[in-house]
Structure 1
Amino acid sequence: MSKLNVDQKTIKDLFQSKKSDFLIPDYQRPYAWGEAECRTLWDDIFSFAIPDEGKTEFDSNSEYFLGPIVTFRNEDKLEVIDGQQRLTTLMLLLRAFYSKFGHMQDKASISTKQNIEKCLWKTDEFGEPDMSQLKIDSEVATDNDKEEFLEILRTGIVNKEMKSKYACNFRFFQNNIDEFLSKYPTYFAYLPTRIMNNCILLPIEAESQDTALRIFSTLNDRGKPLSDADIFKAQFYKHFSKLGKKEEFIAQWKKLEELCERIFHPISGTPMDELFTRYMYFVRAKMGIVSSTTEALRKFYEKNSYALLKDTNTLTELIVLAEFWEDVSNQDTERFSNRVLKQFFVLNYAPNGMWTYFVSVYFMQNKDDEGLLDDEKFYTFLQKITGFIWTYAITNPGVNALRTPVYAEMVNIVNDKPVEFSKYKFDADTIRSMFDNFSFNNARPITKAMIAWWAYQNDKQPLLSLETTFEIEHIYARNRNEKENSLTDARNVESLGNKALLEKRINIRASDYRFTDKKKYYEGFTNSKGQIKEGTGVVELLDLTATSADFTENDIIDRYKKMIDCFINYLQKNSLIK
């Protein structure tokens, strides 16, 4: 069991301890508190330390809890995992107070000044502060202002050129301290003293980084916890610093973060974590790993002391992979053919995210020197994985079941073998029976996946935008049957044959109309105010509008049969049927 040192302490006891030598590590995010957070801190502390603006006597035994500080001992430093924001801000606050005591010679002021000194600077064996050694240091790789923070602590000076959050917050505290001094001069020494003596922190010192991170994840219900990518950044930073390329790395990493923020929107983890995950599957495949048990992201990359992250090529390949997915997201016509982009649109509605890992492996293995793929081979690959993933979602629901066949094919890809799913061919009659008995309700991702696939079986269907929100349209409206009771089998209203993709902006208006009324929304129209309401981009719905006076139960049944026949043929064409 991991050992923890947990002991509630006042700011004075914690900061003045000989063992307190805080390090904000390179993998932390830059300082983020602004004036709003500083004002909340100031107002709360002031109300506690000077109750009722000095009209109520202060209880010297009272305490104000500021929160935990989670660290682990890294050699002679306390590496800060949680509490960076409050720790940094408290240091700025104390330094702002310290500057005001410079020429005050009364006993209370001298005593307070000396106590602040021992909170900010290390002391020698005689207990005297060494003004050259601060009690906190920052190595945050992507914080260009960290030196400004340390300079403010050293000198207590902020000039007009300083625009960092550190400088802004320091000025905020200076202004509030000035106001406090002018309004309550007799209480001036009391406020910082009560902050140091009665404001409480909960330092939690873990024996390892892993333990500290787990504690942080448990405690932290606000803000952003450290991600795996933050830890990986530290390893890259150290590697490139040794190569003399620290600034180059910081610039690359920042651009990569911004790129990932634009293109990845994972359900869990950060956008950068998602990129590392996609790249991990390529590395796993090259290692020949076919096990369906997937290691946690950090566990995978930390092997052999993060050897993979100490390889300069890794960052280069991550950038190349991110740029590929950016072009997928932007539907880039220079990189991809129209048919490939259409296939990507369909895959965007896949019943699970496994396809993104699959495609990442294919791309990393088969790209040429310019990062391009052979269009014919790539299109064939995309069609095959679409058919397989869609069918597996019916026959073996759940992404876990999909891992076994897909992981094996990932290894085949990196060994330049074709993707065939040779051990997992489907039986046409069994597939048809399973589809007939499957409930395609809207809550199941495979429902939208199937109708997205079906939309592009129409050769006239142009490429739709990934930025457009599509919903599931019931061509025969659900409440129509409730009102008319015209279906012989009420379940047909939820049949796949009654569903299509439709832009959300249209679906909201058209959802409750009869088919004859819906037609104008599908086609688009000009309203009474002269505003043009655009129609749908889904060609099948436009064809129905042009050729059909109504959409009946027989139409639902016929359309469903066409969809399933077409899908079975699609599987046959892609060599997925026994």
Structure 2
Amino acid sequence: MKANETKVEDFLSSNKTQFVIPVYQRNYDWTTGQCKQLLDDILEVGESKKMNAHFIGSIVYVHDDVYTATRVKELTVIDGQQRLTTLTLIYLALHRLAKVIQNEGLENEISETYLINKFLPDEEKLKLRPTDNNDRALKYLLRCDENEEYLDFSKLIDNFNYFKGRITEDNYQTVLKGLSKLMFVEVSLDREKDNPQRIFESLNSTGLELAQADLIRNYILMGLNPKDQKKIYQSYWEVIEKLAKDETLNLSRVSDFIRDYLTLENKNIPNKGKVYLEFKSKYPTSTLDRLEANLSSIKSLVKHYNKLINPKNESDKELRTQLEFINRLEINVAYPFLMKVYDDYSNSVIDKPTFIKILDLVQTFTWRRFILGLPTNALNKIFMSLYDKVEPANYLYSIQKSLIQRTGVQRFPNNAEVIDALKIKDVYNIKSKNRTYFLERLENFENRLVAMEK
């Protein structure tokens, strides 16, 4: 490992160099607030006659002595991509302004010093090579075509527009002066001598933590060569990230999905903050074939998880109705069990009527327990191991039997208990989702046609 204090502009102006953001890095996600803070700092140091330097953290990269056919040096950035990308956007905003005010000298200087490798092929021209979706946005910004509209959502576009609005003809000289004073610690790793994964974990052990899913993605992909990284990412992890998402809220649920998968596999519920550690313990790094086998198993269930959290994606109306009920009641603890049952239905181990009865049974069990006020934490242990009780020859009956035989706080409340509880339960003051579910089920009881049309 080599560490040096380096000027940002010296680092970015390196000749015939590409700063590669590998596929295992999380997406660029700096907010406008973070961009504002950085630009405010740049303006402040640019105006100050006393401040000769301003540190903005570190850039950590792995140099594997990888060169392209045209001798471009590739540096794989494992920490600092958010700052590096944001600084590139600031230079892009300056480049755009120089074009508008017809300062051709500044326009060419910024472009050829900080943004591109001028004399190289198009695929190697950009000094910053982000992941695919950000790469498209960056190339769009560099084209400066006012008649071209970028149709997809991109944080790069949003943050560029913010900088474009704040960097003006009145202050761009101050911005340039401030950029010239920015410093960071440049940390170069040698994969043969250093352990990039361990260093990455250490770097992210303080401050704003990465999501458990981000740590797992890095763990899976960081140790692979670029070709295998791309293969594993596109064939497995990208699929998992796409499907394990709450599409209504546009929120990633990958960490939750992996936690449910590990619960199913280990018969133990990981702490939300230790999913990554549990994953590492369960799946130590090994051969590429072993990695693909492990990820194939995980990938096989994520398509069912997608429908559990996004019932609208289930094309069958009757199934979709049941999934909407489960989603409304927020029976998330049942997901480890339901993913396997869904998989059995998908593989024709059980038929549709059996699957519907199981979905209805899960609702009945959890709803009755809610009416009685039985502890919800007992449900975790129940559903964690419920699939192990399944007898293929008596699929539904074996599940019913397992639930009915439970006692104490894990019991399945009988009719008499539920009726007695409803006599004193203030149903109108329970959670609105639960109240709507209860009244809707009462209204549509034994009305199959109405239920199908919902």
TM-score normalised over the length of structure 1: 0.50
Q: Does residue 308 of structure 1 match 2:272?
A: no
**In the TM superposition, what are the counterparts of 1:143-162 in structure 2 within 5 Å?**
143=133, 145-150=134-139, 152-153=141-142, 157-162=144-149
1: CA distance, partners of 2:79 / 2:416? 49
Conserved 8 A contact 2:56-2:184? yes
Which residue of 2 is the match for residue 326 of structure 1?
A: 310
> Over residues 8-40 of structure 1, what are the superposed CA-to-partner deviations in whole Å (9 max), with x where a residue is unaligned?
432134334579642122244544446655444
**In the TM superposition, what are the counterparts of 1:33-432 in structure 2 within 5 Å?**
33=30, 37-51=34-48, 58-59=49-50, 62-73=52-63, 76=66, 77-97=74-94, 100=98, 113=109, 117-121=112-116, 133-140=125-132, 143=133, 145-150=134-139, 152-153=141-142, 157-163=144-150, 165-167=155-157, 169-170=159-160, 173=163, 176-180=166-170, 188=173, 191-196=175-180, 198-204=181-187, 207-221=194-208, 227=214, 256-258=243-245, 260-262=246-248, 270-280=252-262, 284=265, 296-297=278-279, 300=282, 304-305=287-288, 306-308=291-293, 311=296, 315=299, 317-327=301-311, 334-335=318-319, 344=326, 348=330, 354-369=333-348, 372=352, 374-375=354-355, 378=358, 382=362, 402=381, 406-407=384-385, 410-411=387-388, 413=390, 419=398, 431=408
Q: Pick the aligned partner of 2:6 from 2, 6, 9.
A: 9
Query: What's the offset of the Cα at 1:327?
Result: 3.4
1: CA distance, partners of 2:405 / 2:236? 51
1: CA distance, partners of 2:402 / 2:412? 24
SS in 2 for 1:374: helix
2: CA distance, partners of 1:78 / 1:6? 15
Conserved 8 A contact 2:94-2:167? yes
SS in 1 for 2:129: strand
Q: Which has the higher contact order (CA 8 A, sep 6+)?
A: 2
Query: What's the offset of the Cα at 1:46?
Result: 1.2
Conserved 8 A contact 1:65-1:200? yes
> Over residues 33-63 of structure 1, what are the superposed CA-to-partner deviations in whole Å (9 max), with x where a residue is unaligned?
4665544433331122113xxxxxx12x532
Structure 1 residue ranges without an equivalent (≥5)? 52-57, 436-445, 460-472, 476-496, 507-521, 523-533, 541-578
- Cα distance change on mapping 1:165 and 1:425 into 2, 3 Å: closer
2: CA distance, partners of 1:416 / 1:334? 24
- Cα distance change on mapping 1:414 and 1:28 into 2, 3 Å: farther
2: CA distance, partners of 1:454 / 1:414? 26
1: CA distance, partners of 2:304 / 2:342? 10
- Cα distance change on mapping 1:413 and 1:398 into 2, 3 Å: closer
1: CA distance, partners of 2:236 / 2:403? 47
Query: More helix by proportion, 1 or 2?
Result: 2
Corresponding letter in the other structure for 1:135 = K
Conserved 8 A contact 2:16-2:117? no
Conserved 8 A contact 1:9-1:202? yes
SS in 2 for 1:201: strand
Conserved 8 A contact 2:8-2:182? yes
Structure 2 residue ranges without an equivalent (≥5)? 67-73, 443-454
- Cα distance change on mapping 1:304 and 1:328 into 2, 3 Å: farther
2: CA distance, partners of 1:335 / 1:424? 22
- Cα distance change on mapping 1:11 and 1:255 into 2, 3 Å: closer
2: CA distance, partners of 1:417 / 1:359? 17
Q: Does residue 26 of structure 1 match 2:23?
A: yes
Conserved 8 A contact 2:308-2:327? no
Aligned residue pairs total 405
Which residue of 1 is the match for residue 71 of structure 2?
A: none
- Cα distance change on mapping 1:364 and 1:212 into 2, 3 Å: farther
Corresponding letter in the other structure for 1:43 = D
2: CA distance, partners of 1:14 / 1:36? 25
- Cα distance change on mapping 1:221 and 1:280 into 2, 3 Å: closer
SS in 2 for 1:69: strand
1: CA distance, partners of 2:31 / 2:312? 36
Corresponding letter in the other structure for 1:365 = D
Q: Pick the aligned partner of 1:457 from 405, 418, 422.
A: 418
| Structure with larger Rg | 1
Query: What's the offset of the Cα at 1:359?
Result: 2.7
Corresponding letter in the other structure for 2:205 = T
> Over residues 116-147 of structure 1, what are the superposed CA-to-partner deviations in whole Å (9 max), with x where a residue is unaligned?
84444569xxxx9999643321124xx2x523
Query: What's the offset of the Cα at 1:90?
Result: 0.8
Corresponding letter in the other structure for 1:211 = R
Query: What's the offset of the Cα at 1:149?
Result: 0.6
Q: Percent identity, aligned pairs only? A: 16
2: CA distance, partners of 1:65 / 1:71? 18
TM-score normalised over the length of structure 2: 0.61
> Over residues 489-524 of structure 1, what are the superposed CA-to-partner deviations in whole Å (9 max), with x where a residue is unaligned?
xxxxxxxx9665543589xxxxxxxxxxxxxxx9xx
Conserved 8 A contact 1:228-1:273? no
2: CA distance, partners of 1:417 / 1:175? 66
1: CA distance, partners of 2:13 / 2:328? 61
